[in-house]
Structures are given as C-alpha cells and as structure tokens.
C-alpha cells in the first residue's frame, strides 16, 4: 500500500460521508431561522403596539 492510495481512500470517504458537516449546517440553519422568527415576532409586536397607541 502506498501513502497516495491511502490518502485517496480516506479523502473519498470524508467527502462521501460528511455527517458532521450536515449536522453543522442543520444547526446553523436552525439558528438563523429561529433568529429571523424572533425578529419578525418582535417587529410585529412593536407595530401592533404602535397601532394600538
């Protein structure tokens, strides 16, 4: 076994099974979505308060 073949197989394996990358992306998307929802709720409450007042 030459080091080049070992590196190729490990590199291919890392690219085909990116479990941690998918998990990281899901966490980032969830964080951004929750932040946007929170901002929308706060803006909506501020606008409704202005309309009521």
The predicted structure's pLDDT at residue 52: 73
The predicted structure's pLDDT at residue 50: 82
Task: Using the predicted structure, report yes or no on whether residue 47 has a pLDDT greater than 80.
Answer: yes
- Note if the pTM is more than 0.85: no
Q: DSSP class of residue 53?
A: -
For residues 13 and 30, what is the distance between their CA atoms, to the nearest angstrom? 27
The predicted structure's pLDDT at residue 32: 96
Task: Using the predicted structure, report yes or no on whether residue 22 has a pLDDT greater than 80.
Answer: no
Q: Across the chain, how many H-helices and E-strands are there?
A: 2, 0
The predicted structure's pLDDT at residue 19: 61
5 backbone φψ class: left, alpha, beta (φ>0; ψ -120 to 50): alpha
Domain ranges of the chain: 18-53
């Amino acid at each position: 076994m030459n080091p080049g073949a070992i590196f190729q197989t490990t590199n291919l394996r890392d690219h085909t099974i990116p479990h941690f990358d998918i998990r990281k992306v899901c966490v980032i998307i969830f964080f951004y979505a929750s932040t946007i929802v929170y901002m929308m709720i706060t803006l909506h409450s501020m606008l409704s308060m202005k309309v009521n007042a």
